[in-house]
Amino acid sequence: MNNNLEQLPKPVTLGLEPSFGFGDRTGLATPGHVASMKRSGAGIKAIYPQQSIREMTRTQRTPTGVMEDALRDMVASGWTDVTGADADHLKTPEDVDVTAAVGFTFFTIDPSDHVDEHSDTYDQATLESKFADIRDQVSWIDSYRGKSVTLSTGTSFQLDEEACLRAAVKYGIALNEALSLCNYIDEVHEGLGRDYEIELSVDETEQPTTLAEHYIIADRCLSNGMKLVSLAPRFIGHFEKGVDFIGDLDALDISLHDHAALAKELGPYKLSLHSGSDKISMYGLLAKATGGLFHVKTAGTSYLEALRVVARHDESLFREIVDFARGRYLTDNATYHVHAT
Protein backbone atom coordinates (compact mmCIF):
# COMPACT_ATOMS: atom_id res chain seq x y z
CA MET A 1 0.00 0.00 0.00
CA ASN A 2 1.11 3.60 -0.61
CA ASN A 3 3.19 4.93 2.31
CA ASN A 4 0.94 7.98 2.64
CA LEU A 5 -2.05 5.67 3.06
CA GLU A 6 -0.27 3.68 5.75
CA GLN A 7 -0.25 6.80 7.92
CA LEU A 8 -4.00 7.42 7.57
CA PRO A 9 -6.95 5.72 9.34
CA LYS A 10 -8.05 2.41 7.85
CA PRO A 11 -11.60 2.18 6.49
CA VAL A 12 -13.79 -0.47 8.13
CA THR A 13 -16.88 -2.51 7.32
CA LEU A 14 -20.08 -0.90 8.59
CA GLY A 15 -22.48 -3.85 8.64
CA LEU A 16 -26.14 -3.00 9.02
CA GLU A 17 -25.60 0.48 10.45
CA PRO A 18 -27.45 3.17 8.49
CA SER A 19 -24.89 4.71 6.15
CA PHE A 20 -24.34 7.54 3.72
CA GLY A 21 -21.76 7.46 0.94
CA PHE A 22 -20.20 10.61 -0.51
CA GLY A 23 -18.86 10.33 -4.04
CA ASP A 24 -16.26 13.04 -4.68
CA ARG A 25 -15.27 13.23 -8.34
CA THR A 26 -12.96 16.22 -7.86
CA GLY A 27 -11.06 14.99 -4.80
CA LEU A 28 -11.77 18.30 -3.06
CA ALA A 29 -15.20 17.88 -1.47
CA THR A 30 -14.53 15.80 1.66
CA PRO A 31 -14.29 18.83 4.02
CA GLY A 32 -17.84 19.79 2.99
CA HIS A 33 -19.02 16.21 3.39
CA VAL A 34 -17.53 16.03 6.88
CA ALA A 35 -19.20 19.33 7.78
CA SER A 36 -22.57 18.01 6.64
CA MET A 37 -22.17 14.83 8.68
CA LYS A 38 -21.17 16.80 11.78
CA ARG A 39 -24.23 19.01 11.38
CA SER A 40 -26.89 16.50 10.34
CA GLY A 41 -25.53 12.96 10.37
CA ALA A 42 -26.20 11.83 13.93
CA GLY A 43 -26.74 8.06 14.02
CA ILE A 44 -25.48 7.54 10.45
CA LYS A 45 -22.12 6.07 9.45
CA ALA A 46 -20.12 7.77 6.71
CA ILE A 47 -18.36 6.49 3.63
CA TYR A 48 -15.99 9.21 2.41
CA PRO A 49 -13.75 7.31 -0.02
CA GLN A 50 -16.26 6.38 -2.74
CA GLN A 51 -15.75 6.32 -6.48
CA SER A 52 -16.82 4.13 -9.35
CA ILE A 53 -14.30 2.68 -11.73
CA ARG A 54 -16.01 4.40 -14.66
CA GLU A 55 -15.72 7.80 -12.93
CA MET A 56 -12.08 7.21 -11.99
CA THR A 57 -11.41 6.47 -15.65
CA ARG A 58 -13.22 9.59 -16.87
CA THR A 59 -11.60 11.89 -14.31
CA GLN A 60 -8.16 10.25 -14.65
CA ARG A 61 -8.01 9.43 -10.94
CA THR A 62 -6.79 6.21 -9.31
CA PRO A 63 -8.06 4.11 -6.39
CA THR A 64 -4.99 5.22 -4.42
CA GLY A 65 -5.69 8.88 -5.14
CA VAL A 66 -9.38 8.59 -4.27
CA MET A 67 -8.57 6.87 -0.98
CA GLU A 68 -5.74 9.20 -0.02
CA ASP A 69 -7.64 12.42 -0.86
CA ALA A 70 -10.71 11.39 1.12
CA LEU A 71 -8.89 10.06 4.20
CA ARG A 72 -6.44 12.96 4.37
CA ASP A 73 -9.19 15.58 4.17
CA MET A 74 -11.36 13.59 6.56
CA VAL A 75 -8.64 13.75 9.21
CA ALA A 76 -7.85 17.40 8.48
CA SER A 77 -11.54 18.24 8.90
CA GLY A 78 -11.64 16.73 12.37
CA TRP A 79 -13.59 13.54 11.69
CA THR A 80 -12.86 11.07 14.49
CA ASP A 81 -15.47 8.38 13.81
CA VAL A 82 -14.88 5.46 11.44
CA THR A 83 -15.47 5.51 7.70
CA GLY A 84 -16.23 2.82 5.15
CA ALA A 85 -14.74 2.89 1.64
CA ASP A 86 -16.89 2.10 -1.40
CA ALA A 87 -15.36 0.61 -4.54
CA ASP A 88 -18.35 1.41 -6.69
CA HIS A 89 -19.80 -0.25 -9.80
CA LEU A 90 -17.26 -3.06 -10.09
CA LYS A 91 -17.53 -5.28 -13.14
CA THR A 92 -14.28 -7.25 -13.44
CA PRO A 93 -11.69 -9.04 -11.27
CA GLU A 94 -9.22 -6.33 -12.27
CA ASP A 95 -11.55 -3.73 -10.71
CA VAL A 96 -11.46 -5.73 -7.48
CA ASP A 97 -7.67 -6.09 -7.53
CA VAL A 98 -6.91 -2.37 -7.77
CA THR A 99 -9.47 -1.32 -5.15
CA ALA A 100 -8.84 -4.08 -2.63
CA ALA A 101 -5.11 -3.36 -2.81
CA VAL A 102 -5.56 0.11 -1.29
CA GLY A 103 -8.05 -0.87 1.40
CA PHE A 104 -11.57 -0.42 0.06
CA THR A 105 -13.99 -2.37 2.26
CA PHE A 106 -17.41 -2.00 0.59
CA PHE A 107 -17.62 -3.57 -2.87
CA THR A 108 -20.53 -2.61 -5.09
CA ILE A 109 -21.02 -5.23 -7.78
CA ASP A 110 -22.65 -3.94 -10.97
CA PRO A 111 -23.67 -6.72 -13.39
CA SER A 112 -25.86 -4.38 -15.48
CA ASP A 113 -23.98 -5.18 -18.72
CA HIS A 114 -25.54 -8.66 -18.54
CA VAL A 115 -29.12 -7.60 -17.77
CA ASP A 116 -31.63 -8.10 -20.59
CA GLU A 117 -33.25 -4.65 -20.64
CA HIS A 118 -35.99 -5.76 -23.03
CA SER A 119 -37.32 -8.72 -21.06
CA ASP A 120 -40.30 -6.79 -19.67
CA THR A 121 -41.68 -6.30 -23.18
CA TYR A 122 -41.28 -9.84 -24.56
CA ASP A 123 -44.43 -11.78 -25.41
CA GLN A 124 -44.74 -15.32 -24.05
CA ALA A 125 -43.27 -17.02 -27.12
CA THR A 126 -40.23 -14.72 -27.16
CA LEU A 127 -39.77 -15.12 -23.43
CA GLU A 128 -39.74 -18.90 -23.70
CA SER A 129 -37.33 -18.75 -26.63
CA LYS A 130 -34.96 -16.44 -24.74
CA PHE A 131 -35.07 -18.70 -21.72
CA ALA A 132 -34.33 -21.76 -23.83
CA ASP A 133 -31.09 -20.04 -24.93
CA ILE A 134 -29.86 -19.73 -21.33
CA ARG A 135 -31.53 -22.73 -19.68
CA ASP A 136 -28.21 -24.53 -19.14
CA GLN A 137 -26.81 -21.48 -17.33
CA VAL A 138 -29.91 -20.67 -15.26
CA SER A 139 -31.00 -23.85 -13.52
CA TRP A 140 -32.87 -22.39 -10.54
CA ILE A 141 -36.25 -21.51 -12.03
CA ASP A 142 -38.01 -24.70 -10.84
CA SER A 143 -37.16 -23.93 -7.20
CA TYR A 144 -39.19 -20.68 -7.33
CA ARG A 145 -42.04 -21.48 -9.71
CA GLY A 146 -45.36 -21.60 -7.84
CA LYS A 147 -44.22 -19.83 -4.67
CA SER A 148 -46.53 -17.31 -3.02
CA VAL A 149 -45.02 -14.64 -0.76
CA THR A 150 -46.88 -12.46 1.74
CA LEU A 151 -44.91 -9.62 3.32
CA SER A 152 -45.33 -8.11 6.77
CA THR A 153 -46.86 -5.07 5.02
CA GLY A 154 -49.75 -7.27 3.87
CA THR A 155 -48.63 -7.17 0.23
CA SER A 156 -48.62 -10.53 -1.56
CA PHE A 157 -47.05 -11.57 -4.85
CA GLN A 158 -46.83 -14.74 -6.87
CA LEU A 159 -43.77 -16.34 -8.39
CA ASP A 160 -45.78 -17.75 -11.26
CA GLU A 161 -44.45 -19.09 -14.54
CA GLU A 162 -44.26 -15.69 -16.22
CA ALA A 163 -42.63 -13.91 -13.27
CA CYS A 164 -39.97 -16.61 -13.00
CA LEU A 165 -39.27 -16.63 -16.72
CA ARG A 166 -38.95 -12.85 -16.87
CA ALA A 167 -36.63 -12.80 -13.86
CA ALA A 168 -34.51 -15.57 -15.38
CA VAL A 169 -34.25 -13.89 -18.77
CA LYS A 170 -33.69 -10.43 -17.34
CA TYR A 171 -31.26 -11.25 -14.52
CA GLY A 172 -30.12 -14.87 -14.90
CA ILE A 173 -26.78 -14.24 -16.60
CA ALA A 174 -26.23 -11.06 -14.59
CA LEU A 175 -26.64 -13.05 -11.36
CA ASN A 176 -24.08 -15.57 -12.57
CA GLU A 177 -21.63 -12.73 -13.21
CA ALA A 178 -22.34 -11.16 -9.83
CA LEU A 179 -21.79 -14.43 -7.97
CA SER A 180 -18.58 -15.10 -9.89
CA LEU A 181 -17.23 -11.66 -8.96
CA CYS A 182 -18.40 -12.16 -5.38
CA ASN A 183 -16.38 -15.37 -5.17
CA TYR A 184 -13.34 -13.54 -6.48
CA ILE A 185 -13.76 -10.75 -3.89
CA ASP A 186 -13.92 -13.42 -1.20
CA GLU A 187 -10.74 -15.12 -2.46
CA VAL A 188 -8.85 -11.82 -2.58
CA HIS A 189 -9.84 -10.88 0.97
CA GLU A 190 -9.12 -14.33 2.33
CA GLY A 191 -5.62 -13.87 0.97
CA LEU A 192 -5.35 -10.38 2.48
CA GLY A 193 -6.82 -11.46 5.82
CA ARG A 194 -9.27 -8.55 5.76
CA ASP A 195 -13.01 -8.20 6.17
CA TYR A 196 -15.26 -6.88 3.42
CA GLU A 197 -18.93 -6.41 2.56
CA ILE A 198 -20.88 -6.44 -0.68
CA GLU A 199 -23.59 -4.32 -2.18
CA LEU A 200 -25.40 -5.54 -5.28
CA SER A 201 -26.56 -2.89 -7.72
CA VAL A 202 -29.48 -3.75 -9.99
CA ASP A 203 -30.77 -0.18 -10.22
CA GLU A 204 -29.34 0.73 -13.62
CA THR A 205 -32.31 -0.45 -15.66
CA GLU A 206 -35.18 1.40 -17.30
CA GLN A 207 -37.88 -0.69 -15.60
CA PRO A 208 -38.39 -0.83 -11.81
CA THR A 209 -37.35 -3.99 -9.98
CA THR A 210 -40.47 -6.00 -9.13
CA LEU A 211 -40.92 -7.67 -5.76
CA ALA A 212 -40.66 -11.06 -7.45
CA GLU A 213 -37.35 -10.05 -9.05
CA HIS A 214 -36.06 -8.63 -5.76
CA TYR A 215 -36.98 -11.89 -4.01
CA ILE A 216 -35.22 -14.11 -6.53
CA ILE A 217 -32.12 -11.89 -6.84
CA ALA A 218 -31.56 -11.64 -3.09
CA ASP A 219 -32.35 -15.27 -2.41
CA ARG A 220 -29.92 -16.44 -5.10
CA CYS A 221 -27.19 -14.23 -3.65
CA LEU A 222 -27.75 -15.22 -0.03
CA SER A 223 -28.16 -18.92 -0.75
CA ASN A 224 -24.83 -18.85 -2.56
CA GLY A 225 -23.01 -17.28 0.38
CA MET A 226 -22.72 -13.67 -0.76
CA LYS A 227 -21.87 -11.29 2.13
CA LEU A 228 -24.72 -9.06 1.04
CA VAL A 229 -24.95 -5.98 3.23
CA SER A 230 -27.14 -3.93 0.90
CA LEU A 231 -29.14 -4.22 -2.30
CA ALA A 232 -29.93 -1.36 -4.67
CA PRO A 233 -33.12 -2.11 -6.61
CA ARG A 234 -34.46 0.11 -9.37
CA PHE A 235 -37.26 1.94 -7.54
CA ILE A 236 -40.33 3.41 -9.22
CA GLY A 237 -40.02 6.99 -10.49
CA HIS A 238 -36.90 8.68 -11.80
CA PHE A 239 -33.54 9.10 -10.03
CA GLU A 240 -31.15 11.56 -11.57
CA LYS A 241 -27.97 13.17 -10.27
CA GLY A 242 -28.33 16.32 -8.20
CA VAL A 243 -32.13 16.71 -8.37
CA ASP A 244 -34.99 15.56 -6.16
CA PHE A 245 -37.05 12.42 -6.76
CA ILE A 246 -39.25 12.66 -9.85
CA GLY A 247 -42.52 10.76 -9.49
CA ASP A 248 -45.39 9.84 -7.19
CA LEU A 249 -44.18 10.01 -3.58
CA ASP A 250 -47.20 8.18 -2.18
CA ALA A 251 -46.65 5.26 -4.55
CA LEU A 252 -42.92 5.33 -3.76
CA ASP A 253 -43.65 5.16 -0.02
CA ILE A 254 -45.74 2.01 -0.48
CA SER A 255 -43.05 0.46 -2.68
CA LEU A 256 -40.27 1.32 -0.21
CA HIS A 257 -42.15 -0.38 2.63
CA ASP A 258 -42.62 -3.52 0.52
CA HIS A 259 -38.99 -3.72 -0.62
CA ALA A 260 -37.79 -2.99 2.92
CA ALA A 261 -40.00 -5.74 4.35
CA LEU A 262 -38.55 -8.17 1.82
CA ALA A 263 -35.00 -7.12 2.72
CA LYS A 264 -35.67 -7.67 6.43
CA GLU A 265 -37.32 -11.05 5.92
CA LEU A 266 -34.73 -12.47 3.52
CA GLY A 267 -31.62 -10.96 5.13
CA PRO A 268 -31.67 -8.68 6.84
CA TYR A 269 -29.71 -6.39 4.54
CA LYS A 270 -29.92 -2.69 3.86
CA LEU A 271 -31.98 -1.13 1.10
CA SER A 272 -29.70 1.11 -0.94
CA LEU A 273 -30.66 4.32 -2.72
CA HIS A 274 -28.40 5.07 -5.67
CA SER A 275 -28.30 8.43 -7.40
CA GLY A 276 -29.24 9.63 -3.95
CA SER A 277 -28.00 13.20 -4.36
CA ASP A 278 -30.60 15.79 -3.28
CA LYS A 279 -33.48 13.31 -2.92
CA ILE A 280 -34.75 15.54 -0.11
CA SER A 281 -38.40 14.57 -0.43
CA MET A 282 -37.71 10.86 0.08
CA TYR A 283 -34.91 10.60 2.66
CA GLY A 284 -37.41 10.52 5.50
CA LEU A 285 -39.56 7.98 3.67
CA LEU A 286 -36.55 5.70 3.16
CA ALA A 287 -35.43 5.95 6.78
CA LYS A 288 -38.92 5.24 8.12
CA ALA A 289 -39.73 2.41 5.70
CA THR A 290 -36.46 0.59 6.39
CA GLY A 291 -36.34 1.23 10.13
CA GLY A 292 -32.76 2.43 9.68
CA LEU A 293 -31.64 -0.42 7.42
CA PHE A 294 -30.60 1.88 4.58
CA HIS A 295 -27.62 3.09 2.59
CA VAL A 296 -27.65 6.26 0.49
CA LYS A 297 -25.12 6.77 -2.30
CA THR A 298 -24.51 10.31 -3.57
CA ALA A 299 -22.15 11.88 -6.06
CA GLY A 300 -23.82 14.62 -8.07
CA THR A 301 -24.15 17.42 -5.54
CA SER A 302 -20.50 18.24 -4.85
CA TYR A 303 -19.70 18.07 -8.56
CA LEU A 304 -22.54 20.48 -9.41
CA GLU A 305 -21.45 22.85 -6.64
CA ALA A 306 -17.97 22.85 -8.16
CA LEU A 307 -19.51 23.78 -11.51
CA ARG A 308 -21.45 26.57 -9.80
CA VAL A 309 -18.18 28.02 -8.48
CA VAL A 310 -16.59 27.83 -11.92
CA ALA A 311 -19.62 29.52 -13.51
CA ARG A 312 -19.38 32.43 -11.09
CA HIS A 313 -15.62 32.93 -11.24
CA ASP A 314 -14.41 31.80 -14.69
CA GLU A 315 -17.01 32.16 -17.43
CA SER A 316 -14.72 31.05 -20.26
CA LEU A 317 -13.78 27.85 -18.43
CA PHE A 318 -17.43 27.14 -17.68
CA ARG A 319 -18.32 27.53 -21.37
CA GLU A 320 -15.47 25.17 -22.25
CA ILE A 321 -16.83 22.59 -19.79
CA VAL A 322 -20.35 22.94 -21.22
CA ASP A 323 -19.10 22.48 -24.78
CA PHE A 324 -17.11 19.42 -23.74
CA ALA A 325 -20.10 17.95 -21.89
CA ARG A 326 -22.39 18.48 -24.89
CA GLY A 327 -19.91 16.66 -27.09
CA ARG A 328 -19.78 13.75 -24.63
CA TYR A 329 -23.51 13.57 -23.94
CA LEU A 330 -24.51 10.69 -26.22
CA THR A 331 -21.55 8.60 -25.03
CA ASP A 332 -21.95 9.26 -21.33
CA ASN A 333 -25.74 9.02 -21.39
CA ALA A 334 -25.34 5.31 -22.06
CA THR A 335 -24.18 4.78 -18.47
CA TYR A 336 -26.38 7.29 -16.61
CA HIS A 337 -30.14 7.70 -16.35
CA VAL A 338 -30.97 11.24 -17.42
CA HIS A 339 -33.83 12.69 -19.44
CA ALA A 340 -32.20 15.79 -20.91
CA THR A 341 -32.50 16.22 -24.68
Summarize pLDDT for 260-277 with one digit per residue, the tens. 999 999 999 999 999 899
Give the pLDDT score at 121.
94
- How much is the mean pLDDT over the chain? 94
Q: What is the pLDDT of residues 187-237, one digit of tens each?
A: 999 999 999 999 999 998 889 999 999 999 999 999 999 999 999 999 999
Which is more confidently placed, 253 or 307? 253
250 is catalytic: no
Q: Which of 223-227, 284-288, 322-326 has the lowest mean pLDDT?
A: 322-326
Tell me, yes or no, whether 234 lies in a domain. Answer: yes
How many domains is the chain built from? Answer: 1
The CATH code of the domain that includes 285 is: 3.20.20.70
314 is catalytic: no
| Residues 216, 209, 276, 268, CA torsion sign | negative
Element (H, E) at 149: strand 147-150
Q: What is the pLDDT of residues 68-123, one digit of tens each?
A: 999 999 999 999 999 999 999 999 999 999 999 999 999 999 999 999 989 999 99
Tell me, yes or no, whether 141 lies in a domain. Answer: no
The amino acid at 24: D
Give the pLDDT score at 338.
61
Q: How many CA atoms lie within 13 A of 71 on its CB side?
A: 24
Tell me, yes or no, whether 76 lies in a domain. Answer: yes
Give the pLDDT score at 3.
63
Tell me, yes or no, whether 132 lies in a domain. Answer: no
Which member of 55, 116, 199, 203 is catalytic?
199
C-beta separation of 97 from 184 below 8 A: no
Give the pLDDT score at 339.
61
Tell me, yes or no, whether 209 lies in a domain. Answer: yes
Tell me, yes or no, whether 341 lies in a domain. Answer: no
In the predicted model, is pLDDT for residue 341 greater than 60?
A: no
Tell me, yes or no, whether 174 lies in a domain. Answer: yes
Instruction: Give dist(CA 58, CA 207) in Å, integer.
Output: 27
Structural domain boundaries, residue 236: 3-114+169-335
Tell me, yes or no, whether 205 lies in a domain. Answer: yes
Give the pLDDT score at 335.
66
Which member of 69, 88, 240, 258 is catalytic?
88
Cis peptide bond upstream of 268, omega within 30:
yes
